[in-house]
Amino acid sequence: MSMKLRGRLLAATVCAAAMSAVAVPASAETLADAIALAYQNNPTLQAQRATQRALDENYVQARSGWRPTLGFSANAGYSETRIPAAAGGSGIDRNGDGIPDLVRGQIFENNSSRIGLSFTQPIWTGGRVAAAVNAANADVLAGRENLRRVEAQTLASVIQAYSDTRRDVETVRIRQENVNVLTRQLQESNARFDVGEVTRTDVAQSQARLSQAQALLQSAVAQLAITRATYATLVGQNPGDLAPEPSLAFLLPTDPDEAFKLAEQFNPQLRAQEFTEQASRARLAGARAEHMPSVSASATYGFNGPAIPDRPSDVFQRDLYSRGITGQVTASVPLFTGGLTTSRVRQAVERNNVDRITIEGVRRNVLQSVTTFWSQLMAARANISSSDEQVRASRIAAEGTRQEQQVGLRTTIDVLNAENELRQAELNAVTSRRDEYVAAANVLAVMGRLEGKNLVPVVPQYDAAKNFRKLRITWGWVPWEEAVGIIDNAATPWPSKVPVEKADEKAIGPGLEPAPAAAPPATR
C-alpha cells in the first residue's frame, strides 16, 4: 500500500473519530463531484480501460494474417583446414580433377557469405483469417460492454459510499444527541434522588441507558471511519461536508415494464454475452476453415558471395557476388490430420452452444435483478413516509412523556423508553432515505443508464472506440489488404458473420444537479 493511500485512510479514521468534537468543513461536496473524481481517477475503472485498449490490439493482430511479411537474412562463414606434415599420402584432391591440391603441412582457408530479402503475401486462407478477424472484432465489442459494466459498478459503489457516509454522519449526530439527552437525564435523576423524589433504581436506569448510548456512539464513530475509508478508496480523497443527494428521477422509468424493456436492450452484461456468442460462432467458422486449402505467394531476392579457397578477403568484393531472384505461388491442402481438425470443429460447436445458452441465463438474471432492485426501491419509498410519520409521532410522545414525568404521571423508565424510540425512529428515517437512493442507483445500473454521460455530462467522457478507430489503419497496413480480406470472406463455404455494433442509448440530461436547499424555518 502506498504511503499516500495510507495517509488518506488514516486521515479518514482520525476525522471520523473526531466528528463529535470538530466541526466539518464549511464547503459542501456534492455527489457529482465525487462521481467526477471517480470517473477520472478510480484505479479499477482506469485498469479496465487499459484492458480494453490491450484487447483492441487483438483485432490488429488478427488482420495481420492478410498482410505480407518481409524478412532479411545474412550469413557469413569462415573455415580453415590444416593438414599435418606427418599425414600419409601425397595430398588431398578437393576439386576432383585427379591432382592433389592440398599437400601435407598446408593451411587452407575459405570464406562464404549470403544476403537476401524474402517477401510472402497470403492470397487466400480458406476463411481462417476472416474468421479470426470477426472473432476479434466481437471480442472488442464485448470488451466495451464489460467496460460499461465496470463503470456502472464503480459509479454505483461511489453512490453507495456517498449515501453510507451521509447516513453514518447522521447516525453519529443522532447518537451524540442521545448521549447529551441521557446525560442531562442522569443529572436530573441524581438531583431528584438527592431530594428524595426518585429511588436509586431510577438513577441506575439512567446510568445504564447512558452507558449503552455511549457504547452505541463509539460503534457509530467506528462505522463512520469504515465508510469514510471506503469513500476515499473509491473517490481518491476523503469526504468533506457532503451535500444531500440530488434526485435521480430524470433517469428512472415510470413503471417496471419500462425498466424490463430498457434492461433487455441496454444492460451491458447481456450485450457482452451476445457479442461473446458471436465471437465463438466466428471461431467455429475458423475451425471449419481448417479443412480448406490456403494459397500464398512468395519471392526472394539475394546475393551469394564467393567461396574461393585461400582468398578470404574476396568475401568483401562486390563484383564476385552472384544475384538470384525467385518467385513462387504455394497451395497447401490439408488431406489428413488424424481427426484433429474434426475434433476442433466439434469442440467449437459445443463452446458456441454454451455461449448461446448462457445468453438466456444472463437475460433471466438481469430481469431478476430488475425485479429485486425495483421492489427494494418501492419498499424504501414506502418506508420513508412511514419513518417520517414515526419520527413525528415519537417526538410528540417523547416530549409529552417528559412533561408528564414532571407532574408525576410517568416514571424515569418511561422517559428513557420514549427517548430510545425517538432515536430509533430518526435512525430508521435516515436509513430509509439511504436505501431508497441506493436502490434507485442499482435500478439504473442494471438498466444500463448508470453512466458518466448521464450523471456528469460536463466531465470529458472516455471514448472506448477512439483507440480502436486509431488502430484501424496503422503501421503494417497495406492498400491491398481489403481486397485479400474480401476474397478470404467470400471464397469459403463457411463464412463467418461480421459483428455489428449495437446502438447505445443517447445521453439523458441534465445530469446530477445539487439538491435544492432546505427552506428556512417559518418565523412567527
Q: What is the pLDDT of residues 142-174, one digit of tens each?
A: 999 999 999 999 999 999 999 999 999 999 999
For the segment 389-425, what is each residue's pLDDT rounded down to a tens digit? 999 999 999 889 888 888 778 888 888 888 889 999 9
Mean pLDDT of 313-340: 78
Q: pLDDT-derived band of residue 524, with 50, 70 and 90 as boundaries?
A: very low
In this structure, what CATH number is given to the domain that contains residue 419?
1.20.1600.10
- Give a yes or no: residue 470 inside a domain: yes
For residue 257, pLDDT over 50 is answered with yes
- Give a yes or no: residue 386 inside a domain: yes
Q: pLDDT-derived band of residue 95, with 50, 70 and 90 as boundaries?
A: low
**Among 283, 411, 409, 428, which residue's Cα sits nearest to residue 352?**
283
Q: What is the pLDDT of residue 513?
A: 74
- Give a yes or no: residue 412 inside a domain: yes
Q: What is the pLDDT of residue 314?
A: 52
Higher pLDDT, 53 or 99: 53
Q: How far apart are CA 43 and CA 37, in angstroms?
A: 11
Q: What is the pLDDT of residue 26?
A: 38
Q: What is the pLDDT of residue 21?
A: 34
- Give a yes or no: residue 86 inside a domain: no
Q: How far apart are CA 131 and CA 496, in angstroms?
A: 6
For residue 94, pLDDT over 70 is answered with no
| DSSP character string of 102-149 | B-TT-EEEEEEEEEEEEEEEEEE-TTHHHHHHHHHHHHHHHHHHHHHH
Say how many domains are in the chain. Answer: 1
Higher pLDDT, 123 or 76: 123
- Give a yes or no: residue 90 inside a domain: no
Q: How far apart are CA 415 and CA 185, in angstroms?
A: 9
Q: What is the pLDDT of residue 170?
A: 95
Q: How far apart are CA 321 and CA 165, in angstroms?
A: 81
- Give a yes or no: residue 313 inside a domain: no
298: helix, strand or coil? strand
**Among 473, 10, 373, 355, which residue's Cα sits nearest to residue 159?**
373
Q: What is the pLDDT of residue 426?
A: 93
Q: pLDDT-derived band of residue 320, with 50, 70 and 90 as boundaries?
A: low
Which span out of 96-100, 468-472, 502-506 was modeled with the highest average pLDDT?
502-506
Query: 183 burial class (0-12, 13-18, 19+ CB within 10 angstroms)?
Result: middle
- Give a yes or no: residue 164 inside a domain: yes
Q: What is the pLDDT of residue 344?
A: 93
Mean pLDDT of 298-317: 66
Question: What is the share, in percent, of the chain residues with pLDDT greater than 70?
Answer: 84
Domain assignment of residue 248, given as a range = 3-69+129-292+340-490
In the numeric block, which cell numbers belong to residue 294?
490456403
Compute the mean pLDDT over every residue in the chain, rounded to the nearest whole number.
85
Which residues on adjacent β-strands are paired with residue 111?
A: 78
309-316 contacts, C-beta under 8 A, 24 or more apart: 309/94, 309/108, 309/109, 309/110, 310/108, 310/109, 310/110, 311/111, 312/78, 312/109, 312/110, 312/111, 313/111, 314/111, 315/76, 315/111, 315/112, 315/113
Judge if the upstream peptide bond of residue 510 is cis by omega within 30 degrees of 0.
yes
Per the listing, cell 574476396 goes with: 314
Higher pLDDT, 146 or 199: 146
- Give a yes or no: residue 471 inside a domain: yes
Q: How far apart are CA 45 and CA 42, in angstroms?
A: 5
Q: What is the pLDDT of residue 152?
A: 96
For the segment 327-371, what is each residue's pLDDT rounded down to a tens digit? 899 899 999 889 999 999 999 999 999 999 999 999 999 999 999
Helix (H) / strand (E) containing 325: strand 322-332
Mean pLDDT of 476-504: 87
